[in-house]
């Protein structure tokens, strides 16, 4: 079973953790993107990323300082570097060594900058969302990454001797995978809140938190079969059989 999640915009490079680390499989492709971004001004990045002037300047400086030769010295492992809601709920620092080992085997992170990351892969500070409308190829970042990432996910599934792919990523990121080519069963996980008149709605921040909690649940319980995820009950969520089907499993809470 392979878990797929999105990256986070928020990063924490206050400390570096690069022991027992690896280099992203598509690091050369990421480096090529970084060199293209290095040529852009802060104002151009602000327009491209649709961010504030301060965030644009921050990322301008990041790309000016990008140097592939220094990744082993100043890079940080992806699972420790990302610090958004999903990763906060994983609380990696509190996991045992065996739980972290499970995460490294069973988790992959989609990335607009790096394509696909293992938790142990070293990354630089960056910002590049998969949905960014940047014609880096004849199309966009999806065109840049889709075949490569889909092929690598298939290789990972084959190496793991599994055909089960658990989608805990956002629609923006999971879209990069060519579902028709994936050699396995895709199970989409959704988290919803019950509102007035019993209506179920998805609230982004809560869904992100729940994705992180489910990852942690999988790590701690060493989940090997998707059906074991139906026992997930953190944060008040429960598997909702009535709202689920074979391809989409819905977890709800009041």
Cα 3 from Cα 215, distance rounded (Å)? 8
Per-residue pLDDT tens over the stretch 165-198? 999 999 999 999 999 999 999 999 999 999 877 8
Q: Dihedral of CA 95/97/102/104: which sign?
A: positive
- Which of the pair, 134 or 155, is modelled with greater confidence? 155
Q: Where are the chain's structural domains?
A: 2-253
Per-residue pLDDT tens over the stretch 6-55? 999 999 998 887 788 999 999 999 999 999 999 999 999 999 999 999 99
The residue among 44, 90, 80, 81 whose CA lies nearest residue 63 is: 44
The residue among 97, 92, 114 whose CA lies nearest residue 6 is: 114
pLDDT category at 86 given cuts 50, 70, 90 is: very high
Task: Please state the φ and ψ torsions of residue 208, each to the nearest 5 degrees.
Answer: -65, -45
Per-residue pLDDT tens over the stretch 158-169? 999 999 999 999
The overall average pLDDT reported for the chain is 95
Cα 246 from Cα 253, distance rounded (Å)? 20
Per-residue pLDDT tens over the stretch 138-159? 678 999 999 999 999 999 999 9
């Amino acid at each position: 079973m392979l878990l797929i999640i999105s990256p986070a915009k928020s990063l924490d490079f206050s400390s570096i953790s690069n022991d027992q680390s690896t280099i992203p499989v598509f690091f050369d492709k990421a480096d090529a993107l970084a060199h293209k971004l290095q040529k852009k001004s802060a104002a151009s990045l602000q327009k491209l990323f649709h961010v504030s002037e301060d965030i644009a300047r921050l990322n301008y400086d990041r790309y000016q300082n990008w140097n592939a030769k220094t990744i082993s010295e100043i890079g940080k492992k992806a699972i420790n570097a990302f610090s958004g809601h999903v990763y906060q709920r994983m609380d990696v620092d509190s996991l045992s060594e065996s739980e972290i080992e499970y995460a490294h085997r069973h988790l992959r992170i989609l990335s607009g900058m790096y394509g696909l990351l293992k938790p142990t892969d070293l990354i630089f500070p960056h910002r590049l969302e998969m949905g960014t409308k940047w014609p880096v190829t004849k199309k966009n970042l999806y065109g840049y990454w889709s075949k490569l990432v889909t092929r690598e996910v298939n290789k990972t599934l084959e190496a793991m001797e599994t055909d089960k792919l658990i989608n805990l990523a956002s629609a923006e990121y999971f879209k990069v995978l060519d579902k028709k080519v994936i050699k396995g069963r895709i199970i989409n996980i959704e988290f919803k809140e019950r509102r007035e008149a019993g209506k179920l709605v998805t609230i982004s921040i809560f869904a992100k938190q729940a994705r992180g909690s489910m990852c942690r649940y999988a790590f701690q319980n060493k989940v090997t079969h998707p059906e074991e995820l139906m026992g997930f009950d953190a944060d008040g969520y429960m598997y909702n059989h009535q709202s689920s089907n074979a391809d989409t499993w819905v977890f709800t809470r009041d």
